[in-house]
Amino acid sequence: MAGVRKKKLVSGKYQGWFVDQTGERRFFAGTHNSRETLRIAEKLEDDHRQIRLGYREAPKVDSKHSFTEIAEQYISWGRTQGGIGGRPWSPVHLQQRTRHMKFWQQRLNLDRISDIRLTEVEKVVRDLFDLNKTGKTVQTHLESLKAVCLWAKGHGYLASNPLEGLTSVDITPRHARRGLTDAEIQKLLEAAPEERRLIYETALCTGYRKGELGALTVASLDVGTCTLSLAAKYCKGRRDARQPISNDLANRLKASAAGKAANAKLFEIDFHIDRLFARDVIAAGIEVGDKRSLVFHSLRHTYCTLVIEAGANVKEAQTMLRHSDPKLTMNIYAKARHDRMQATAEAIGKVIFKDEKCVQGVFAEPSTKDRDNCNTIGDKCLDIKDERAGEGVRTLDFDLGKVALYH
């Protein structure tokens, strides 16, 4: 049944929906008037119902449009409003999708958008795996092609999605990322040049990614509230970020930014920062093992672990990492460090195997000072004058008299 959402879109228009000839609910951006959008939705649904009942022919897909033309329109749409909440894509996402459009056009030898065939796409997937590409790399290529197909279908360039039966690929990482230990953090900071040391310190204290660090400006720093802010268009999750930082880091960044304009970049991130990070790790004498397990992004993993170990609960950690799903925070980024687990095991051991100062049922012999503060009959204390506590004592009745119990 056709309808209209009560809440407006970011553009101020109402979003309507209708059921098409295949029985699938489809959404569209209507007008600024709710009733007018509802009338459009009802008209579209009636048209599709007539097609389903055979009273009207289904519209034919325009086969004159080339894949290049469709891809350009898709990229243009993403550049302006393709992101979350109608925002534009990030520069990195835009560059990736543009590169993938060219890749698929060349590998599938596409002339028109309707030339896409599922069997040919699956063959390209197998070829990529034969080239030792990771599952994540293959999946990102597939997501770009699936996205343009869905966009083309929604805009009437395709009657159906040619990748409807495409299954996902295994994206299990080949190399598990690890964080730095406390000792390794200090080694890295001591070995790194001053300009990169401050970048590493900021990454470790905020969890910002390298692209986000490069987008920070002098105006992003607020020393008064000790925060580093970043606009949504520069963030991976397309949401404004406002990361709390320590007072020490705020002062270091303030000193580094002295004399710079408000719109000047806070850091100059080298394009080969991962390569420079690897050099600094080697110079610091840190045992790496698998070189892909310790990269610049490991600083974000380290930040997550430090947040958890500092006492943050799951919700606080998820918020500080700016993740939409706490499972990503706890299962991917947070690491269980052996030294911390060993310390926990020792703490449990002290509870189970605690030392007993006295044999059970026998009272400890009072000290010389305590003997001076109590009255005795033989070697038994009857009454205690505790000037330190300023309060009385508890006593128990025994056959041999009253014996003082020391607090």
* Tens-digit pLDDT profile for residues 348-362: 788 788 665 544 545
Q: What tokens does 293 get?
A: 């397990």
pLDDT in tens, 29-40: 888 899 999 999
Q: Tell me, what's the pLDDT at 172?
A: 81
CB within 8 A of 97, min separation 6: which ones? 74, 75, 78, 89, 144, 147
Sequence-distant contacts of 145-150: CB under 8 A, at least 24 apart: 145/100, 145/104, 145/116, 145/121, 147/74, 147/97, 148/70, 148/71, 148/74, 148/101, 149/113, 149/116
Is pLDDT of 9 > 60? yes
Residue of 168, 148, 143 lying closest to 158 (CA atoms): 148
Residue 28 has pLDDT above 70, yes or no: yes
340-391: pLDDT as tens digits: 788 878 887 887 886 655 445 455 555 555 555 555 444 444 444 444 444 4
What mean pLDDT value characterizes the chain?
A: 83
- 247, pLDDT greater than 50: yes
At 52, the pLDDT band (50, 70, 90 cuts) reads confident
Predicted pLDDT at 63: 54
Helix spans in 155-193 (H): 182-191
Q: At what angle do helices 67-81 and 91-107 cross, to 10 degrees?
A: 170
| Phi, psi at 370, each rounded to 5° | -70, -35
Query: Higher pLDDT residue, 114 or 141?
Result: 141
Tokens, residue 60 = 């034919």
Reference 97, options 73, 65, 121, 66; nearest CA is 73
Tell me what the mean pLDDT of segment 250-274 comes to. 92
Residues 56 and 75 sit within 8 Å (Cβ to Cβ):
no
Q: Which phi and psi (to 5°) does residue 41 adopt? A: -65, -45
Rg of the chain over all Cα atoms, to the nearest angstrom? 33
> Which tokens go with 369?
């000072």
Q: In the predicted model, what is the mean pLDDT of residues 95-100?
A: 94
| Residue type at position 328 | L
Query: pLDDT (tens digit, 9 = 90+) per residue, 265-281?
Result: 999 888 889 999 999 99
Please name the residues in contact with 325: beta carbons below 8 A apart, sequence gap of 6 or more. Answer: 318
What's the CA gap between 8 and 321, in Å, rounded?
30
Token pair of 287, please? 């045992």
Question: What is d(CA 26, CA 23) in angstroms, rounded to the nearest whole number?
Answer: 9
pLDDT band of residue 123 (cuts 50, 70, 90) is very high
* pLDDT attached to residue 379: 47
Q: What are phi and psi of 160, to 5 degrees?
A: -150, 165
Above 60 in pLDDT, residue 398? no
**What is the CA 292 to chain-centroid distance, rounded?**
20
User: Residue 195 contacts by C-beta under 8 Å, 6 or more apart in sequence?
Assistant: 268
Q: Whats the size of the chain, residue-wise? A: 407
CB atoms closer than 10 angstroms to residue 27: 12
Task: Return d(Cα 158, Cα 31) in angstroms, integer.
Answer: 25
What's the mean pLDDT in 305-319?
A: 89
Which CA distances in Å does 82 have to 74, 75, 87, 148?
9, 9, 6, 11
Q: Say which residue the tokens 């034919």 belong to.
A: 60
| pTM greater than the 0.85 cutoff | no
- Helix H or strand E encompassing 394: strand 394-398
Share of the chain above pLDDT 70, in %: 84
